[in-house]
Amino acid sequence: MPITATLTIQQWGNSLAVRIPAAVARSAHFEVGQKVDVMTEEIGVSIKPVGARKFTLAEKLAQFDPAKHGGEAMKTFPVDAEVL
């Protein structure tokens, strides 16, 4: 569900700025240091992340398929150079 925030544009040096509230940043999956594209639109601007976003742990777990990814991943006996 989209989160809406009404903000005030502030002066920041020779530029203008708004702070993105934490709830909006979380909803948009924004992180500190992340690169974003800022694009002008017919009315206003849009801010979108550059590249593919990282999935949250909950999203990764939701995609987990035990039939595909299940089972023991480690061998229980020595392999190759481990055999003495």
Looking at the chain, the whole-number percentage of residues with pLDDT higher than 90 is: 45
> Would 2 be classed as within a structural domain?
no
Check pLDDT > 90 for residue 66: no
Mean pLDDT of the chain: 86
Q: What is the CATH number of the domain that holds 60?
A: 2.10.260.10
Mean pLDDT value across residues 2-24: 94
| Band of pLDDT at residue 59, cut at 50, 70 and 90 | confident
Residue 51 DSSP label: S
- DSSP strand E in the chain: where? 10-12, 15-17, 36-40, 45-49
Q: Are 36 and 51 in contact (CB under 8 A)?
A: no
Whether 31 is covered by a domain: the verdict is yes
Decide if 78 is inside a domain: no
Inside any domain, residue 5: no
| Per-residue CA distances from 42 to 6, 27, 30, 39, 63 (Å) | 19, 24, 24, 10, 37
Is residue 3 one of the residues assigned to a domain? no
Count of domains observed in the chain:
1
Confidence at 71, pLDDT banded by 50, 70, 90:
low
Residue type, 23: A
The residues with which 45 forms a beta bridge, in sequence order, are: 40
Residue range 30-49: mean pLDDT, rounded: 92
Domain that holds residue 61: 10-70
